Structure 1
Amino acid sequence: MTTSGTRIATQRHTAVEQLAPVLSDANPVLGVIDFNVLDQLIEHLHEVYTEDWIRHTIAVGTMSLPGVLEHFRARGLGVQTASATELEIAQHSGIPLSEVVHNAPVKTLTQLRDITDAELSFSVDNFAELTRVDGLLQDPHNYEGSIGLRVTPQASAEDDATTCAHMGIGLRDHRNDLFETFLERSWLTQLHVSFDTPPTSLQQTAEQVAAVYQFAEDIEHAAGAQRIFRLYFPAGIPVNVVSDEVQPTFDNHRFVHHAMMPELFDSKYEIVSEISAPLTAKAGMILARVEYTKDLDGRMIAVIHADAQYQPESIRVAAYDSDGRYKDDLQHYYYDLAGPTGLVAQRVELPELEAGDIVAILDVGATAFSMTAAFTAPVYGIRADGLLTESSILNAGRSTADLAKAAGIYQPTKLLHYPADTM
């Protein structure tokens, strides 16, 4: 099944019309996850990757809504965590530890002890951490999970962007040390690809995966037997933020990887891929009611209650009237969307807006509901026909009282005062 941009847009219109009555003075902004889009993309993924030795995971850091994580798990996807908090969320979502891949780049000794005691599958970030693991493992050869090293390919010696990498062990910098590490520890059975820099094309993704794949082959040659049994890597599929079309597709992803290294698909290695962004980005949006419109320095500005976005110049927006009907006026204007914390979208082409209209901030399913987004408004799930019920609330949001309480403890009797004689 392929998911067309037209289909996504049609489903979005239905969702906005259904949710329009929820927007009010009390709730001027809310998040939305379209389960239709999720299911269509999951089905397409399974059609493209049918092998049982290829496993796809969702990063809790990218999508941390328990209701969505459970939805993915019920459809055969695993979970990847990168911090103790994310691991707690995974457990809270009902996901067994045996299905979790833990890739926190920094771990305390206590956290490492908990991880190894639970026999989680995890990646070691550096040699110092590996020394700690050496001391914690009582019987590494009978460890239930997979343990491996996070390796940064440094695929291009001339690429200055590789200096931006901060996770993993550099393959070019420490190739001999890595060889010795794997030869000395036969219980290290996994290589985790940590990209030098976020790839902007499928070819860049495949090049970095290929470098680590070849290193796994080199380890086997040096050891005289297969030592690496699992390769873990992010899918590295860029998200299209220009239109509703899902591009590149999962077909494109497989084609490029197969063309560059067909041996990757011969089932020699178990493949575990983190594929959160391409599965969730198009399924998530933020709806915000227009509070005011104004002009400043010749720019038309719509003031809304949504928080600033990281790259406002690349944010896509759709406009609806107060009843949730799509505004398809022929006359368009360039708007900046401004929120309480800064610019939400910059120079977006929209029909004329007025107070009470609804704007949909698109393609944010892989960012708005992540661990770092701190999205405090309610989040709703919409299903096939725009159905909205009590069970559709994925997150009730946090009130102003909740947020004020989270700011800290007020203890006026413990305030520090300067002695009178020092004034």
Structure 2
Amino acid sequence: MSPSPGGEAALRRERVIRAAVREGLTDPDEAVLAAFVDLDGVAALVAALRSAFPASLSVRHTFAAKANSLVPVLEHLRLHGMGCEVASAGELDRATAAGFGPELIVFDSPAKTRAELARALRLGVAVNVDNFQELERVDALLAANPSASPLGVRVNPQVGAGSIEAMSTATDTSKFGIALDDEGNRARLIDAFRERPWLTWLHTHVGSQGIAPELTARGLARTVELADEINSTLGRRQVVGIDIGGGLSVDFDSDDPDPGFDGYVAALRRHAPRLLSGDYRLVTEFGRALLAKNGFMTAFVEYTKTAGGRPVAITHAGAHVATRTVFRPDAWPLRVTAHDPSGRQKRGDVLAQDVAGPCCFAGDLLATARPLPRLAPGDLVAVLDTGAYAFSTPFHYNSLPVPAVYGFSTAADGEVRFRTLRPAGGPD
């Protein structure tokens, strides 16, 4: 997991860190932990996503706000043509604050309250209903106040799990959606659409990290089959669109920024060709694939010691900003690079070291026995691929301060320019 000190991406990252040090964005006393988002990289991946789908299709690409809910990041995505998928009232607040109109927002959650549903329907955002009980709530709300919201039902195609069980949402017993193969559910779904002409969408999401595109495509193929069956049985084109979710895995082992949108669409062509026929409008909900590799953190090394003969570096990045890595390092390993106090990447001989965080429990480790140049107090470590589900949604263990987040872009002359996306201690 130790990246090479060379390579174009590594050299560019080093330039960014050195520029951040010069501008005082990192400081061993005042800014011991800072985070950075590559705004140019985000824009490039949005363009790659859009170009991967045939231009002949009607596709609304939305960003899963849970992956990085910072309002300036959401606004940046909106300005590059993205919509926004939200899974809570708080994320809906952030989407509207970022300027997304209701026609650009999709509301998904397995636990929508009556008040949340009423608000979404009043605003006119798209809503994906998770279960039959929720559908009855929507019936009552619409009877009192008609809505312009596009309305759909989430189904679980029950095609199995990927390599990370917790990220797999189409298992037989997943908590999400209506289980398609459970006894009576398919007929009940068709009846639900028959009785509700305003139900015009289907939604499915097979899972995210650890899900092969082929598994996603098989789940989507089952959903398209259901859409065709509903329309055929009802004798009318009622289902007009399919929300296909996201779920493209990120390579956390390299600097390759491309998660493979072209390969994802190729898998859809092989395993779910009807989806790309043009008969249905599509919505996507990618999150991690767009942001993870476009963010990193820098943390100062406060102390070094040896325990059991192994060097340990105590840093200011731990479970509060890399929660999944600390608690499930087997599933969520992160790359770490070593830098001197100026930000220059350290070269030379490496030795196995633990990279620990500041949280007051023994398991707060970013890396164990990781081969790195020897770290010393005052050095910096860069924690890579953390643009999603990390510093943007901190875990408030020990009431540790929320780190500042800076967006950066590179001018034609090579100058790195920063802007504050979230001040230190600011709202997360």
State the TM-score bracket (shorter-chain normalisation): 0.7 to 0.9
Change in 2 beyond 3 A, CA 1:265/1:118: same
- Residue 319 of structure 1 deviates from its aligned partner by 1.3
Could you say what secondary structure the match of 2:416 adopts? coil
Matches of 1:262 and 1:13 in 2, distance apart? 43
Structure 1 residues 207 and 192: CA distance shift in structure 2, 3 A: same
Tell me how far apart the structure 1 counterparts of residues 35 and 261 of structure 2 sit (CA, whole Å): 26
Which secondary structure state, in structure 2, belongs to the residue aligned with residue 180 of structure 1?
helix
User: How many Å separate the matches in 1 of 2:391 and 2:32?
Assistant: 17
Structure 1 residues 246 and 383, CA gap change in structure 2 (3 angstroms) = closer
How many residue pairs get aligned? The number is 392
Residue 190 of structure 1, aligned match among 191, 201, 213: 201
8 Å Cα contact 1:164/1:196 also seen in 2: no
Is contact 2:159-2:215 (8 Å) kept?
Answer: no
Residue 298 of structure 2 is aligned to residue 287 of structure 1: yes
Deviation at 1:219, TM superposition (A): 1.0
Query: d(CA) in 2 for partners of 1:272 and 1:153?
Result: 17
TM-aligned CA deviation for residue 360 of structure 1: 0.6
| Contact 2:209 2:249 survives alignment (8 Å) | no
CA distance in 2, matches of 1:47, 1:115: 31
CA distance in 2, matches of 1:207, 1:241: 25
State the alpha-carbon separation in 1 of the partners of residues 293 and 209 from structure 2: 19
Does 1:129 pair with 2:140? no
Question: In 2, distance between residues paired with 1:64 and 1:6?
Answer: 30
TM-score by length of 2: 0.86
What amino acid is the match of 2:381?
V
Residue 368 in structure 1 maps to residue 381 in structure 2: no
- Note if 1:383 corresponds to 2:412: no
1:54 aligns with 2:41: no
Q: Which residue of 1 aligns with 2:159?
A: 155
Deviation at 1:376, TM superposition (A): 0.9
Question: TM-score under structure 1 normalisation?
Answer: 0.87
Q: Which structure has the larger Rg?
A: 1
Q: Which AA in structure 2 matches 1:9?
A: A
**Residue of structure 2 equivalent to 1:111:** 116
Which residue in the other structure is 2:343 paired with? 324
2:11 & 2:65 partners in 1: Cα distance?
28
Q: Does structure 1 residue 249 correspond to structure 2 residue 260?
A: yes
1:139 and 1:50 mapped to 2: Cα distance?
A: 41
**Aligned match of 2:353 in 302, 323, 335?**
335
**TM-aligned CA deviation for residue 367 of structure 1:** 1.3
Counterpart of 2:35, as a letter, is G
Quote the offset at 1:120 in angstroms.
1.6
Deviation of 1:103 after TM superposition, in Å, equals: 0.9
Q: Is residue 224 of structure 2 the alignment partner of residue 221 of structure 1?
A: no
1:224-303 aligned within 5 A: 224-246=235-257, 248-303=259-314
* SS of aligned partner of 2:311: strand
- Once the two structures are superposed, what CA deviation does each residue of 1:180-235 show, in whole Å capped at 9, x if it has no partner? 11121121011110327865211111111111111111111211222211111222
Alpha-carbon contact 1:164-1:197 (below 8 Å) kept = no
Please list the CA deviations of residues 254-286 of structure 1 after superposition, one character each: whole Å capped at 9, or x if unmatched: 111111122211211111111111111110111
Aligned partners of 2:208 and 2:249 also within 8 Å: no
Offset of 1:328 from its aligned partner? 2.6
For each residue in 1:269-312, what CA deviation from the matched residue of structure 2 results, as whole angstroms up to 9, or x when unmatched?
11111111111111011110111111112222110111223224
Identity of aligned residues (%): 33
Which of 51, 63, 72 is the aligned partner of 2:77?
Answer: 72
Distance in 2, Cα, partners of 1:40 & 1:14: 19
Checking the alignment, whether the CA contact within 8 Å between 1:61 and 1:372 is kept in structure 2 is: no
Give the match's secondary structure for 1:383: strand
Answer yes or no: is the 8 Å Cα contact 1:199–1:238 preserved in 2: yes
Match of 1:32 among 36, 40, 65: 36
Structure 1 unmatched ranges of 5 or more: 404-423
Give the structure 1 partner of residue 179 of structure 2. 170
Distance 1:144 1:7 in 2: 49
1:40 CA drift (Å)? 2.0
Q: Which residue of 2 aligns with 1:411?
A: none
Sort the Cα spacing of 1:199 and 1:50 in 2 relative to 1 into closer, same or farther, 3 A.
same
Q: 2-side partners of 1:190 and 1:369: how far apart? A: 34
Query: Structure 2 CA distance, aligned partners of 1:318 and 1:382?
Result: 19
Instruction: Give the letter aligned to residue 403 of structure 2.
Output: A
C-alpha root-mean-square deviation of aligned residues, in Å?
Answer: 2.4
Name the CA distance, whole Å, in 1 between partners of 2:97 and 2:160. Answer: 41
Deviation at 1:9, TM superposition (A): 2.4
SS of 1:311 mapped into structure 2: helix
Distance 1:41 1:81 in 2: 20
Change (3 A) 1:200 1:334: farther
Asked whether the equivalents of residues 204 and 220 of structure 2 are also in contact (C-alpha less than 8 Å), the reply is yes
**How much has 1:250 moved relative to structure 2?**
1.1
> Could you say which residue in structure 1 is the equivalent of 2:125?
120
1:311 paired residue number: 325
Structure 2 counterpart of 1:39, which letter? A
1:214 is paired with a residue whose SS is: helix
Deviation at 1:8, TM superposition (A): 2.9
Q: CA deviation at 1:90?
A: 0.9
